Amino acid sequence: MTEIRHTSTAPTRTQRLAPGAAIDAHRHDDHQIVYAGRGVLAVTTDAGSWVAPANRAIWVPAGTVHAHQAHGEIQLHLLGLPAVVNPLGLASPTVLAVGPLLRELIIAYTRSPGAVGPERERLHAVLLDQLRASPQEPLHLPTPADPLLRKLCDILRADPADGRTLAELGRAVGASDRTLSRLFHRDLGMTFPQWRTQLRLHLALVLLAEDMPVTAVAHRCGWSSASTFIDVFRRAFGHTPGAHPGG
């Protein structure tokens, strides 16, 4: 079994990651805000994955074993918070919207991690206030524990454009669509269509960060047309793929 790297404190710093670079599984005793000023960042745990373009950040609670994966060139901003300071009251990783003010606060705070003094304290206080006001985003792709569900989800991870119905996929894994539908609700807290759409959106963010054209992304991810993809993307992220800030 691979040893999990452990540090008592989550560092506050900036770090550049090349496209495709990864930070192996590790954990901190502190909470951490992970923000990519450019590119798309994925954070993965045993419970699933969270993906964030440049207008999102990921909250990683203290003690969570997690790994990072860069898609596109990443300017990574890491902000550690003591475990006793939990401005969001969250016990699991969560994607947060990052508006212009919060973005500048994160960049300013991580630019000078060793700074001390009243100005630094005021910056920290405003940063916490903005984190508390930051909307949470449903960008979690959960990983199933049930063997049947895991087998089905692995099929779609290998080819997100696979358009088979739940009944058709059920025949491939040896389960009825009713059983699988129940497992999706019970184990993942979402329907099969919701999980598949989330999977496709995660892949779309990655491909856009790698500069793939919008139409090619739409077809690669399984949407019938670019216009359908653009509509789903806009509803999920608040802007069109062409205006995607992660590229």
Q: In angstroms, rounded to a whole number, what is the distance separating the alpha carbons of residues 10 and 60?
A: 10
Domain topology for 144-243: Arc Repressor Mutant, subunit A (1.10.10)
Type of residue at 184: F
Domain 5-140 has CATH 2.60.120.810: yes
Bridge partners for 33 per DSSP: 59, 79
The predicted structure's pLDDT at residue 4: 72
The predicted structure's pLDDT at residue 246: 47
Radius of gyration (Cα) for the chain, nearest Å?
19
Q: In angstroms, rounded to a whole number, what is the distance separating the alpha carbons of residues 171 and 13?
A: 49
Type of residue at 129: D
Name residues whose C-beta falls within 8 Å of residue 24's C-beta, 6 or more positions apart in sequence.
2, 5, 67
- Phi, psi values for residue 57, rounded to 5°: -130, 165
HSE, CB side, 13 Å, CA atoms: give it for residue 240. Answer: 9
Helix axes 192-209, 147-158, angle to 10 degrees: 40
What is the chain's pLDDT, residue by residue, as a tens digit (247 residues)?
355 777 767 778 898 889 889 999 999 999 999 999 888 999 999 999 999 888 899 999 999 999 999 998 888 999 999 988 888 888 899 999 999 999 999 999 998 877 889 999 999 999 999 999 999 887 889 999 999 999 999 999 999 999 999 999 999 999 999 999 999 999 999 999 999 999 999 999 999 988 899 999 999 999 999 999 999 999 888 888 876 554 4
Could you tell me the CA-to-CA distances from 105 to 32, 109, 126, 128, 133 in Å, in that order? 15, 6, 8, 10, 14
Which of 147, 109, 112, 111 shows the shortest CA–CA distance to 129?
109
Q: What is the pTM of this model?
A: 0.84
* Residue spans per domain, the chain: 5-140, 144-243
The predicted structure's pLDDT at residue 69: 92
